[in-house]
């Protein structure tokens, strides 16, 4: 057998029917993650056709996108302020009960952002195929899973059949060597990669992140990297599982244990790309040369080192329009630009290590006058860990608004929004026009950079504050 990539091994193990020139492959799905926004239509189709959920034991639902993050609304002391969100929450409760799907409801201590709780529980495992009606399902690829987002129609297909029609993507190796310097994080790394590839450079490919830099990352950091694969246009992002992966999964409540773990480890250790495996494309990056990164435009590929300046449009109408929306001009320094809002959270940077990083900057400092700092943990478990360890105390003492878990200001559909014309430094993943509120201006950055902006009221280099 010829040498195979990690992706090819996982794909072939789940290919029920190979693709042909006329038809996509039929791919088996190991885990289907469901949330309240992209599932109502799918459940309606099942109901209309009198179909059951094919594998409820491989389906797990949570509430995250529309859910409020203010404690009173979460725990019923006040009504959910956004009516559409309240309707979606109630509808998922009804659908889960009717179809026998396990649901982490609004007050469940296991609830959280779908791409945070999967790894926490240990249901995200190497070699699995994982889908969800959310593009950032690529997060789970950090474990060596083939994980990708699907649309509402496809959610219905998986609920009904536990399979999916898919064309086989190509492969792209992103090789990163060297040590990240102090103050440079996994978020800066993936922003730099997107800056090199562009927002369409990964189209039609599954990225495998490789090299000494990637192997040195923690699982939280690996999830940040894989999370934003979609922002480079990729179908998914993957990292070969290793001892770091296995240690993370060792005590997770739904990961294999005992003899089952021994059997799983034998399978997982064989997943890495074979020596000599060929990729369809390759990008090389020197991690030691990277700086903290920040976006300046209206897509994640519009990114520069924090010490850099706003690039010129060079006759590019899209670039010019983006600068007009942001209120920026070519040649302006990024450092020193004023900030109105800082958001730390999301499936990209809402894990415990992200909050620890922010606390390093915020400890002993106060949020600048006139700046709102909103910190939303990625899950209730992360929230509990941060409170038990004292991290939350540091964040609150600095003046942060500390909330319950949820997607929150990442997408602004739950009441957590940025005002028109206001500048928000955000640890989330998208900076499209209106993403965080109508007319909101988003600058993507790491938790370190976001925290530095919160205490200075301006874009600042976090390396000067750690």
The pLDDT of residue 313 is 81
Q: Which CATH number fits domain 294-461: 3.30.499.10, 2.40.50.140, 3.30.530.20, 3.40.50.300?
A: 3.30.499.10
CA distance 394 to 409: 21
CB neighbours of residue 16 within 10 Å = 12
CA distance 200 to 190: 14
CB neighbours of residue 76 within 10 Å = 10
Quote the mean pLDDT of the chain: 97
The pLDDT of residue 463 is 98
- Residue 265 tokens read as 């480890």
Task: Please say whether the beta carbons of 183 and 448 come within 8 A.
Answer: yes
Give 393's pLDDT tier (boundaries 50, 70, 90): very high
The pLDDT of residue 412 is 87
Give the three-state DSSP class for 442. Answer: strand
Task: Please say whether the beta carbons of 411 and 429 come within 8 A.
Answer: no
Give the three-state DSSP class for 129. Answer: strand
Beta bridge partners of 284: 175
The pLDDT of residue 413 is 80
Q: Has this prediction a pTM greater than 0.95?
A: yes
Q: 70-108 pLDDT, tens per residue?
A: 999 999 999 999 999 999 999 999 999 999 999 999 999
Strands 15-17 and 25-28 turn out to be: antiparallel
- Residue 200 tokens read as 């369409």
Tell me how far CA of residue 330 lies from CA of 4, 263, 320, 423, 453, in angstroms: 46, 57, 9, 18, 21
- Residue 223 tokens read as 């999830």
Spans of all domains in the chain: 6-166, 170-241+266-288, 294-461
**What's the average model confidence in pLDDT over 352-356?**
98
In the chain, the percentage of residues whose pLDDT exceeds 70 is 100
Task: Say yes or no to pLDDT of 1 above 90.
Answer: no
CA 452, 455, 459, 463: dihedral to nearest 10 degrees?
Answer: -30
Q: 22-64 pLDDT, tens per residue?
A: 999 999 999 999 999 999 999 999 999 999 999 999 999 999 9
The pLDDT of residue 14 is 98
Task: Please say whether the beta carbons of 209 and 226 come within 8 A.
Answer: yes
Q: 415-456 pLDDT, tens per residue?
A: 899 999 999 999 999 999 999 999 999 999 999 999 999 999
CA distance 85 to 82: 5
| Residue among 145, 279, 282, 286 at smallest CA distance from 212 | 286
- 6-166: CATH superfamily: Aconitase, domain 3 (3.30.499.10)
Q: Is 243 exposed, middle or buried (0-12, 13-18, 19+ CB in 10 A)?
A: exposed
Name the helix (H) or strand (E) containing 224: helix 219-227
The pLDDT of residue 24 is 98
DSSP structure class, residue 56? G
**What's the average model confidence in pLDDT over 347-359?**
98
CA 149, 152, 153, 154: dihedral to nearest 10 degrees?
Answer: 30
**What's the average model confidence in pLDDT over 226-255?**
98
CA distance 206 to 204: 7
Tell me how far CA of residue 287 lies from CA of 56, 284, 413, in angstroms: 43, 10, 36
Task: Please say whether the beta carbons of 224 and 238 come within 8 A.
Answer: no
The pLDDT of residue 415 is 85
Among the residues of 69-173, which ranges form H helices?
71-74, 83-99, 114-121, 152-161
Task: Say yes or no to pLDDT of 191 above 80.
Answer: yes
Looking at domain 170-241+266-288, which CATH architecture does it have?
3-Layer(aba) Sandwich (3.40)
Task: Please say whether the beta carbons of 139 and 225 come within 8 A.
Answer: no
- Residue 12 tokens read as 């072939």
| Residue among 372, 122, 141 at smallest CA distance from 250 | 122
**What's the average model confidence in pLDDT over 226-250?**
98
**What's the average model confidence in pLDDT over 110-124?**
98
Task: Please say whether the beta carbons of 376 and 401 come within 8 A.
Answer: no
In the chain, the percentage of residues whose pLDDT exceeds 90 is 98
Task: Say yes or no to pLDDT of 221 above 90.
Answer: yes
Q: 193-218 pLDDT, tens per residue?
A: 999 999 999 999 999 999 999 999 99
The Cα angle at residue 188 between residues 184 and 194, in degrees rounded to 5: 155
Give the three-state DSSP class for 282. Answer: strand
Task: Please say whether the beta carbons of 366 and 342 come within 8 A.
Answer: no
Give 133's pLDDT tier (boundaries 50, 70, 90): very high
Q: Do 6-166 and 294-461 have matching folds?
A: yes
Tell me how far CA of residue 166 lies from CA of 41, 104, 238, 360, 455, in angstroms: 21, 29, 17, 44, 47
Give 327's pLDDT tier (boundaries 50, 70, 90): very high
**What's the average model confidence in pLDDT over 303-327?**
95
- Residue 67 tokens read as 């859910």
- Residue 43 tokens read as 């459940």
């Amino acid at each position: 057998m010829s040498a195979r990539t990690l992706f090819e091994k996982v794909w072939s193990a789940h290919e029920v029917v190979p693709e042909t020139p006329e038809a996509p492959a039929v791919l088996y799905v190991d885990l289907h993650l469901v949330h309240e926004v992209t599932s109502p239509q799918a459940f309606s189709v099942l109901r209309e056709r009198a179909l059951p959920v094919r594998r409820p034991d491989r389906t797990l639902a949570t509430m995250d996108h529309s859910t409020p993050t203010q404690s009173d609304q979460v725990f019923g002391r006040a009504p959910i302020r956004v009516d559409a969100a309240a309707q979606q929450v109630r509808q998922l409760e009804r659908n889960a009960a009717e179809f026998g799907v396990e649901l982490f409801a609004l007050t469940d201590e296991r609830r959280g952002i779908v791409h945070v709780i999967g790894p926490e529980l240990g249901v995200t495992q190497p070699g699995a195929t994982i889908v969800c009606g959310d593009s950032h399902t690529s997060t789970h690829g950090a474990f060596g899973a083939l994980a990708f987002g699907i649309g509402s129609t496809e959610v219905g297909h998986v609920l009904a059949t536990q399979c999916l029609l898919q064309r086989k993507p190509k492969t792209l190796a992103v090789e990163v060597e060297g040590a990240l310097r102090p103050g440079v994080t996994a978020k800066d790394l993936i922003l730099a990669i997107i800056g090199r590839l562009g927002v369409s450079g990964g189209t039609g490919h599954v990225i495998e992140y490789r090299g000494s830099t990637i192997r040195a990352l923690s699982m939280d950091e690996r999830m940040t990297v894989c999370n934003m694969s979609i922002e480079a246009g990729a179908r998914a992002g993957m990292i070969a599982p290793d001892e770091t992966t296995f240690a993370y999964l060792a005590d997770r409540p739904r990961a294999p244990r005992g003899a089952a773990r021994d059997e799983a480890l034998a399978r997982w250790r064989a997943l890495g790309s074979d020596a000599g495996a060929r990729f369809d494309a390759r990008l090389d990056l020197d991690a030691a040369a990277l700086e903290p990164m920040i976006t300046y435009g209206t897509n994640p590929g519009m990114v520069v080192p924090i010490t850099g300046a706003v690039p010129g449009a060079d006759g590019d109408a899209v670039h010019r329009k983006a600068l007009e929306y942001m209120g920026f001009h070519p040649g302006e320094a990024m450092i020193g630009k004023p900030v109105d809002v800082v958001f730390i959270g999301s499936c990209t940077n809402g894990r415990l290590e992200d909050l620890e990083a922010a606390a390093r900057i915020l400890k002993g400092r106060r949020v600048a006058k006139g700046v709102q700092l909103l910190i939303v943990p990625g899950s209730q478990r992360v929230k509990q860990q941060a409170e038990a360890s004292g991290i939350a105390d540091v964040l609150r003492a600095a003046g942060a608004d500390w909330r319950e878990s949820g997607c929150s200001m990442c997408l602004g559909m739950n009441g957590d929004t940025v005002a028109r014309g206001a500048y928000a430094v955000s640890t989330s993943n998208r900076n499209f026009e209106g993403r965080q509120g109508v007319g909101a201006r988003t600058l993507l950055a790491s938790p370190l950079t976001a925290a530095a902006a919160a205490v200075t009221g301006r874009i600042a280099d976090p390396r000067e504050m750690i």
